[in-house]
Amino acid sequence: MQRRTLMKAALTAVSLIALQATSALAENPVLKIGFVGVTSGPAASWGISNQRSMETRAAWINETGGYEIGDTTYDIEIVSFDDQKDPKRAIAGMEKMAQEGIHYVVGPNVDDGAAAVRPVAESNGIMYFPYAFPKSLYEAPASNAVLGMVANYQSGPAIYKYLMEEKGVKTVAFIAANESDPLSQRDGGVAAATALGLEVVSDNVTYQVDTTDFTPVLTPVMRSRPDLLVLSGVSPANAPQLIRSARELGFQGVISTETAQDSGVLTEGAGDLANGFISVGGASTPELASPMMNEFVDRYTKMFGEYNDESNTKVYALEYILETLKADPTALTDVDAFQATMDTFEAPNPYMNGDATLRYVGMSSFGQKRQVAVPLVVNVYQDGKFETLFVAEVD
């Protein structure tokens, strides 16, 4: 009897809390923004930093009264789907977004997932912001994908050129995981390095995605004695192990990658052996970060216990979507209007000091504006943190 009473009381309490939460949410109409990406497995870090960045920003907006688009103030709700880095799951995720009437989706995180969802997105009027590099996603006739970061064929040449001029690098070796993203990034890197006049001494060594010990994998690469070792498309989980194994095998040259990494992960996984490691940073540095960026970092840390440096880039996609919708409220349900607005859109960049702006770029790489403008920050890891090597812009 007592147990039944207790259960009734608990049920009532839960119902009341649920009602309260519903009524709190019901104060503003809800604008749903989707996320389809990888939040499990070895590459989980990429997607989770996306999802958490969006959730942090959405909670922040909702806490401060909502986001005004046209005459209406919206609460933002993030609808997430873990595609497990599987293209079939990514399609299912995008279909789910279509069923929920969502027109703006962040993700997927990898090439094959982004390519797979294209028909679903284009036929259902969904604009999506992948973190994948194939140019075919962004060049006409493709219309609905917007690259959410700087691509490797944009950052790679800048890094190689810097290393040739500043460090006297003459030979380069590439190593990549045996899956589509890293392999295509490796091929792009080899082409860029060759075009710059670097001698490619090794480019055919690959490793299984689930490799945990890289010493046997790296041994033949080290025999080629390169000046520069490029970890093409390396995931944050694998980067410290690769660096550690390369250094333990006696490699003295420079190690670099064109993907974003996390300093904490490098510190734990490779320690001082990671000193000098060059990577494309999140689109923020202490010098660039505005007070709003710093508050975002604080809020993210409070919400999830630990910040992820990759979110310095991942913070932008949601902001671009909302600001573009604010610029043209008809785009809420009409992605053609969104696309038309992209050509002329410009708004202050709240995450950067100075007079930086949010705007769409990509004319040089894709022939149309299908890329968010975020600074190309190239970092070098030194004693537990990233230091900015140089900052550049992409058009």
Partner 1 sequence: MEQILANGVYLGSQYAMIALGLTLIFALMNVLNFAHGQMYVIGGFVTYTFYGQWGVPFILALVMSCVTLAILGALIERFLFAPVIKGSAREESTMLLAAGIAFFLDAVILLFFGEKQRGVPKIVDGVFNYDFRLIMPYDRILICVLAILSIVAFIGLMQYTKTGRALRALAQDRTAAQLMGVNVDRYSMIGFALGAMLAGLVGGLLVTITGVNLGMGGPTSIKAFMMVMIGGAGVISGAIWGGIILGFMEAIGLALLYQYGDITYLLIFVSLMIFLAIRPQGLMGKPWG
Q: Does 81 bind partner 1 (CB under 8 A)?
A: no
Comparing CB distances to partner 1, the nearer of 44 and 321 is: 44
Name which position in 117, 270, 293, 374 contacts partner 1 (CB under 8 A): 270
Query: CA of 251: how far to CAs of 10, 221, 274, in Å?
Result: 62, 10, 12
88 binds partner 1 (CB under 8 A): no
Single out the residue of 335, 318, 266 nearest to residue 58, CA to CA: 318
Under the binding rule (CB under 8 A), the answer on residue 383 touching partner 1 is: no
Among residues 22, 99, 212, 252, the one that binds partner 1 under rule CB under 8 A: 212
| Residue 260 main-chain phi, psi, to 5 deg | -80, 145
Query: Would you say 238 and 211 are in contact if contact means Cβ atoms under 8 Å apart?
Result: yes
- Only one of the segments 35-43, 65-73, 120-128, 339-347 lies at the binding site for partner 1 (rule: CB under 8 A); that segment is 35-43
**Shortest CB 222 distance to partner 1, Å:** 8
Q: Give the nearest distance from C-beta 269 to partner 1 in angstroms.
A: 4
CA within 13 Å, CB half, 214: 28
Taking residues 291 to 330 in sequence order and writing x for each that binds partner 1 by CB under 8 A, - otherwise, the string is -------------xxx-x----------------------
Contact segment (CB under 8 A) with partner 1 among 40-48, 359-367, 370-378, 384-392 equals 40-48
Interface with partner 1 in residues 99-138 (CB under 8 A)? none
Separation of alpha carbons 333 and 325, rounded Å: 10
Task: Sort strands 171-177 and 228-232 into parallel, antiparallel or unpaired.
Answer: parallel
Nearer to partner 1, 165 or 306 (CB): 306
Rounded Cα distance, 380 and 364, in Å: 27
Binding flag, residue 44, partner 1 (CB under 8 A): yes
Element (H, E) at 145: none
Answer left, alpha or beta for residue 61, where phi above 0 means left and psi between -120 and 50 means alpha: alpha
**Options 21-29, 38-46, 100-108, 118-126: segment touching partner 1 (CB under 8 A):** 38-46
Tell me how far apart the alpha carbons of residues 223 and 227 are, in angstroms, rounded to a whole number: 12
Least CB distance to partner 1 at residue 336 (A): 36
Q: Does 262 bind partner 1 (CB under 8 A)?
A: yes
Cβ-based neighbour number of residue 202 at 10 Å: 18
Segment near partner 1 (CB under 8 A); pick from 73-81, 151-159, 206-214, 365-373? 206-214
Give the neighbor-by-neighbor strand order of the sheet with 357-361: 346-348, 357-361, 371-372
Whether the Cβ atoms of residue 379 and residue 283 lie closer than 8 Å to each other: no
**Residue 205: CB minimum distance to partner 1, A:** 5
Pick the binder of partner 1 from 37, 66, 108, 236 (CB under 8 A): 236
Binding of partner 1 at residue 213 (CB under 8 A)?
Answer: yes
DSSP summary character for residue 131:
-
Interacting residues of 170 by C-beta distance below 8 A, sequence separation 6+: 164, 198, 199, 227
Rounded Cα gap, residues 353 and 333, in angstroms: 33
Residue with tokens 């990509």: 362
Q: How many residues bind partner 1 (CB under 8 A)?
A: 42
Q: Which is nearer to partner 1, 210 or 393 (CB)?
A: 210
Q: Which is closer to partner 1, CB of 189 or CB of 240?
A: 240
Q: Which of 20, 204, 333, 344 binds partner 1 (CB under 8 A)?
A: 204
In the block, which residue shows the tokens 């040739």? Answer: 164
* Region near partner 1 per CB under 8 A, out of 6-14, 162-170, 200-208, 311-319: 200-208
CA distance linking residue 3 with residue 272, whole number of Å: 58
DSSP structure class, residue 277:
-
Among 20, 72, 136, 219, binds partner 1 (CB under 8 A): 219
Which residues of the chain form contacts with partner 1 (CB under 8 A)?
Answer: 39-45, 48, 178, 204-210, 212-213, 215-217, 219-220, 236-238, 240-241, 248-250, 262, 264-265, 268-271, 304-306, 308
